[in-house]
Amino acid sequence: MKDTYKYVQQFNGCKVAFEEMKDDGKQEYRSKCQIKTSGYMSNDPVEYGQICTDVLTYFKKIENNSVHVYPLSASCYYVYYWLYFDKLKKKGKNDNEVFGIYEELVKSYATGVSNDFLCTHYLKPLTESTLKELKDLYSLYENFIKFKSNNCPGVNDKCSCARECVKIYSEYLDKCHQGINKDLCNELEDFRYQYNEQMEKDSECPKVDKVLPSTKRYNIVMLASIIFLITVVTSVTVFILHKFTSFGSWICPSKKRKKQIRNNADEQTCQYLHTSEIMNKNSGRSIHIAYNSA
């Protein structure tokens, strides 16, 4: 699941590659897909044939591109994402049905078109909630790319894309602070770093948050526990060293020496005070005697 979130930031590039497919390159797979059927779309064979043609053509494009511009896993997950949000959800298909269709197409390519198993390593069903999170992440990066390239919809409104980034990001803060879905939150934290870095250089949107708060929150209880544990370990270590090693005998003489020095200083102070007192008394007596003689 971690990789699924990780590769969402490549989806925009995968989308461009998908949309750049030429119609003439699809002809080979159009005839193959016309004879294919799916139990998940038995009531709409024409639509399934078109989806099949697009997906198999894209798989072939990926296979022919020996040096992938985007990770293979990102390309495969994008097909899954595209099937769900661009094609099938609006037709009432649920997450299980979409995965079933995706699995059919992946296996159909591996067995009927090419010996390359390509996306078979990425056949993991995604829940509806996970797909929703992927969509939010995709929207986050899509708006961020538009913001950086000043390509937001509307005239001179690049700030609307930045505001949308802040809005989507903020919706997940509470969940992340509660420790829910750490993989997603780690990806959000990575986005936060990119956003904050970009906003340091951008001065066109003064009313938009310049800094996104971290998805991570210090755990006060854990911090207190660590401090307590360090204190206990330190105390026990000192006790053991004092009781059972020569370190204790090294400490004691040091303490004794310090105590002896302090005692000597106190004794010298007392002697000084005592001597001063005697001298004062003698001085007083001499004055008294001299007065009587007069």
Please check whether residue 143 is in contact with residue 164, taking contact to mean a CB–CB distance below 8 angstroms. Answer: yes
- Tally Cβ neighbours within 10 Å of residue 181: 18
For residue 168, name the pLDDT band (cuts at 50, 70, 90): very high
| pLDDT for residue 114 | 77
Q: Would you say residue 240 has pLDDT above 90?
A: no
| Helices and strands (H, E) in the chain, number of each type | 12, 0
Predicted model pTM = 0.72
- The continuous run of DSSP H or E covering 216 comes out as none
Instruction: Give the pLDDT confidence score for residue 28 in this predicted structure.
Output: 82
CA dist 87 and 74 (Å) reads 19
d(CA 271, CA 267): 6
Structure tokens at 253: 């003489």
Radius of gyration of the chain from its Cα atoms, rounded to whole angstroms? 39
**H helices of 202-245, where?**
220-244
Query: What is the per-residue pLDDT for 154?
Result: 66
Does residue 156 have a pLDDT over 80? Answer: no
Arithmetic mean of pLDDT, 269-276: 50
The pLDDT score that the predictor gives to residue 230 is 74
pLDDT in tens, 123-142: 999 999 999 999 999 999 99
**Residue 52: Cβ within 10 Å count:** 25
Residue range 238-262: average pLDDT? 55
Asked if 153 and 160 touch (Cβ cutoff 8 Å), the reply is yes
Identify the band that residue 88 occupies on the pLDDT scale cut at 50, 70 and 90: very high
pLDDT above 50 for 42: yes
The closest of 200, 128, 12, 33 to 192, measured between CA atoms, is 200
The predicted-structure confidence for 206-228, as pLDDT tens digits, reads as follows: 899 999 999 998 544 454 556 66
Mean pLDDT of 151-160: 77
Percent of the chain with pLDDT over 90: 46
What's the average model confidence in pLDDT over 165-186?
A: 95
Q: How is residue 67 annotated by DSSP?
A: S
> Rounded to an integer, what distance in angstroms lies between the CA atom of residue 150 and that of residue 163?
14
Tell me what the mean pLDDT of segment 148-176 comes to.
88
Q: How far is CA 222 from CA 213, 225, 229, in A?
A: 21, 5, 10
The pLDDT tens digits for 63-78 are: 887 545 678 889 999 9
Please compute the mean of the pLDDT values over residues 42-53 and round it to a whole number: 92
pLDDT at 187 over 50: yes
Which of 121, 78, 80, 118 is closest to 97 using CA atoms?
A: 80
